[in-house]
Amino acid sequence: MKHVELLSTGVLLVLLGTVAPALAQERHEEAQAPKQEEQAKPEKQAKPEKQVKPEKQVKPEKQAKEEKQAKPTEEAKPVKQEVVRSQQEQVKPQQTSGEQRQQNAQQEQTKGQEKQQKEEQKQASRQEKTEGAKQPQAMSQQEGSSQRPQRSAQDEAKQRSQPALRLSAKSQGRIPDDRFRSDFGREHRFSIGSPRMVDGYSRFQSGGFWFGFVQPWPEDWYYTDEVYIDYVDGGYYMFNPYYPGVRIAISVEL
């Protein structure tokens, strides 16, 4: 029994002798492992700095240089085109000088024709004005040359028995244009008959309007003569076609 106990104790001692150093080594290795990991971490973090390559930064500069070198060549093209255009423009006047002369000659001809047309128009307008001024005179002469109305002794006696006209002041009354064209003018002749006294003044009626006398009645005119009313020189006047060149002023009494 003693031998057995001795053997067992010896085996335990041997086991302890082998196991204890192994455990010590494991503990020592475990203690050193964090240190190694801490030392390894900075190396891993330092790697990105080593990975920075200056070649990548150099590439944009090369590209910029190439673009700068390429731009002048692209900008130089319009200059050549402008030179060619200027040369063409310089050549054109030499080629088209004859055409320009022809055009200038044609323009001068057209200007001369326009001037002639304007002068002709001016002359025509002058002739029209002179003819227009002559027409009333010719018409008045024709009217004056026509036979005077035949008056009987009774007409003369009646005319002489009429009292003198009571003249009135010139009024600012105005006949509407449409009414004037329809009832008055050279084509609308009438005889006034015997004037009437209205409000103390001599009046006569024609075309629905009353008129007063601003000037006295001419001696050669008779109330039975055909007369007409016209608007001349800013006023109304009575005309007798048998006595041209004579007129008397009248006023519209509204």
pLDDT at 44: 47
Q: When comparing pLDDT for 11 and 37, which is higher?
A: 11
Mean pLDDT to the nearest integer, 144-162? 75
**pLDDT of residue 210 exceeding 70:** yes
The structural domains of the chain, with segments of one domain joined by +, span: 161-253
- Token output for 239: 């005309």
**Is 90 exceeded by the pLDDT of residue 235?**
yes
Of 224, 222, 190, 225, residue with least CA distance to 207: 190
Burial annotation 140-163 (CB, 10 A radius, 16+ → b, else e): beeeeeeeeeeeeeeeeeebeeee
- Examine the pLDDT at 179 and tell me if it is beyond 60: yes
pLDDT higher than threshold 50 for residue 182: yes
pLDDT of residue 145: 45
Give tens-digit pLDDT for 12-70: 776 666 656 666 666 766 666 555 555 545 444 444 455 545 555 445 565 656 666 65
The secondary structure of 11-54, three-state, reads: HHHHHHHHHHHHHHHHHHHHHHHHHHHHHHHHHHHHHHHHHCCH
**Which pLDDT tens digit goes with each residue over 81-114?**
665 566 666 655 555 577 788 788 888 888 877 8
pLDDT of residue 131: 56
- Is residue 177 pLDDT above 90, yes or no? yes
pTM over 0.85: no
Q: Given this model, what pLDDT does residue 62 score?
A: 57
Q: Give the least confident one: 83-97, 130-144, 223-237.
A: 130-144
